[in-house]
Amino acid sequence: MHTAVQLYTLRNVGEPTAQLIERVGETPLDGVEFAAAPTEDGVAEALADADLTATAAHVADDRIERSTEEVVEACDAVDCATVVVPYLDESHFDERDAVAETADHLETLAGLLEPHGMRLCYHNHDHEFVSPRGTEGRSAFELLVEETDDAVGFELDLGWAKAADYDPTELLRRFDDRIPLVHLKDVSADGEPVELGEGVLDVPACVDAAREADVEAIVYEHDDPEDPIASLAHGATVLDDPHQAR
């Protein structure tokens, strides 16, 4: 199973992306996931020098729709074949019809990328696990998986699922054929981001479940690390050996 870090974790380090990639190359991780379309100079060369792969790139839905060719060109330049919509707000999930419209929207975006040999995934937060009006207790996430075809994959954020009081391992078992990517993130009982092993996520069980679900990549992310460089090192250590979680 491929391991990576979401570079959003390192956004406050204050270094160019190429230097951040160099730092990741000093860890046991296999790749990086970009927090935006990778347009900075030197990124492809930095990946090659660090022997890392471009796992995926987070790109806002409106940019994919408005600037498809630019997104494709940027991703092609670093041999990145997966584009992830990182966020859609609560209004996309608050009603049954809204979920259906969101599913159509994601399928449209997937259709824009598919001719270029790229796939689309959607990354959840916690608000996708509400029960939309017009449903019988089922979450918007579950409905979204059912409403979309196989052209739309999911990057299941385990920490956000746990914050919404869902069992991430059960979600991986249920939807294993639709989840090529996983975000490994720990959260406190209040849903705040914390270092792996300091929160309520059963990190070893989640990593085992991801392996059993045959996910392609598991991506470490911390939304608000106190020390991003130390957090990178710890996340890489845990992905190398999940029982090293504090």
Quick: pLDDT tens for 14-24. 999 999 999 99
Cα Rg for the chain, rounded, in angstroms? 17
Which tokens sit at 232?
């990178």
Count: domains in the chain: 1
pLDDT value at position 136? Answer: 78
Quick: pLDDT tens for 34-65. 999 999 999 999 999 999 999 999 999 999 99
pLDDT value at position 246? Answer: 62
- The CA distance from 125 to 147, in Å, is 18
Nearest to 26 by CA among 45, 5, 43, 8: 5
Give residue 63's Cα distance to chain centre: 17
Judge whether residue 89 has pLDDT over 70. yes
What range does the domain containing 59 cover? 2-244
Percentage of the chain with pLDDT > 90? 96
Domain with 187 in it: what CATH number? 3.20.20.150
Provide CB contacts within 8 A for 29, sequence distance 6+: 3, 4, 5, 52, 220, 236, 239
5 conformational bin, left if phi > 0, alpha if psi -120 to 50, beta if neither:
beta
Position 69 confidence tier, pLDDT thresholds 50, 70, 90: very high
